[in-house]
Amino acid sequence: MLAEREDWPSTAEGGTQGLSRPLMIKTPASDRGSAFMFRVGIVTRASLRLLQQRLAALTMAPARPAAAKAIAARAQPSAPSTSRQILSLHTSSRLSQAAPVASTSASASADSAAATGSEEASTEAAAPKWKPTSQRVGLIAVKRGMTSFFLPNGERIPATVLQVHSNQISAHIGLDAAGSPSTYTALQVAAIDAKSADHVTKQIQGHLRKAGIRKAKKVIREFPITPDAAVPLGTRLSAVHFVPGQSIDVRAITRGHGFQGVMKRHGFHGLRASHGVSISHRSHGSTGANQDPGRVWPGTKMAGRMGGNKHGTIHNLLVVRVDAEKELIYVKGNVPGPKGGHVTLQDARRPSWKGQKMYRRGRLPTGEALSGKEPDSIYLAPGVDKLPFPAGTRKIAQQLPAIVEIGLTQLDPINKA
């Protein structure tokens, strides 16, 4: 490996101990594709021995045991189911407590399918319940367009169609292997299968494989949750995560309208049609004072680019219909973004603010003192405790009808979209 200069004096020949010497290093053709020479520079005798040891270790070192085990595990056909079993038991403290039950029922059955079923049954038995401060994970959907519903009196109700496309839990944030939460806890959701793995970077593909997700995903979003709403990695979420009759918040990038004036961009009324106004009927008028402050305040509403570069959120949209078979969610009203755009859906936060505030203060929703016998459900918004918790999965969707919708008579004509 190393070729030293023969004409360089050694210590025995009167050379100086530790004297630096120039070296030429030659690597074999199998290492680099072709033999080549390069100059290392000036090194000492001690560093020479260290360099020889490192080069020998690089050429002769065997594969790491951990890497070999990982490769062997990937080669086994049962590896995906095993990884899902381990990850599901490490999701939260309650799920980890269900691990002995799952292992006992699995050992009692020789069939792997029966073992998986017993594990899911034990997980459902230990499923957490709603709390006033509970916050579930959201969904990623694609805006497909708009349609209409008609009330018995003939009134037309516009609705937006959102499709939930292959949502899966891809990461736990703020939860360790034992399920212990930290200050900030969240779930990462990957959605929308890519047509080809070439459209997704290898870093993202490796990140998804750690969660047991084999298909490449185009969109990844993070949703803050409470620790009691944790979901196992790789869980497939469904449109039944939301129930007809509940309110949700929809967030998406708004459509771009280009450069617009203040009347369209900010809703200004404009100037007068006459009486001193000639060519500035749609202008914003004065933007600041003369001497004091002598400038225009930052953030003053003016003409400019409208939409296309920021997120918009529509609060308290009513869920009208859920198609569990086609993974469609119909919401009353309009949704930001163009057709085919990506939107994020979450439970409406505003209806629960007052109840959560009083719950943290230790008082009733009416402001009175607690007697100690009140259930936690009094702090929840109407119907919230009936939602799937901690999440609506594909397994739950299989137990429901193909289409679930709210009665048209329950759509209040007064609250127009």
pLDDT in tens, the chain (417 residues): 444 444 444 444 444 444 444 444 444 444 444 333 334 444 456 656 666 776 666 555 454 444 444 434 443 433 333 333 322 222 333 323 333 333 333 333 334 444 444 444 444 445 577 888 889 999 999 999 999 988 888 889 999 999 999 999 999 999 877 667 778 999 999 999 998 888 999 999 999 999 999 899 999 999 999 988 899 999 999 999 999 989 999 999 999 999 999 999 999 999 999 998 998 999 999 888 788 888 999 999 999 999 887 899 999 999 999 999 999 999 999 999 999 999 999 999 888 888 888 888 788 877 777 777 777 778 787 778 778 888 889 888 888 888 888 776 666 544 444
Q: In sequence order, what are the beta bridge partners of 393?
A: 237
- Please tell me the distance from the alpha carbon of residue 329 to that of residue 320, in angstroms, as a whole number: 8
**pLDDT (0 to 100) of residue 410:** 63
Cα–Cα distance for residue pair 134/229, rounded to 1 Å: 7
Half-sphere exposure in the Cβ direction for 388 (13 Å, CA):
21
For 248-257, give one letter per residue: b (16+ CB within 10 A) or e: bbbbbbbeee
| Ordered domains of the chain (ranges, CATH) | 2-59 (no CATH), 80-125 (no CATH), 139-256+308-410 (2.40.30.10)
pLDDT at site 4: 45
Length of the chain measured in residues:
417
CA–CA gap between residue 292 and residue 391 (Å, rounded): 56
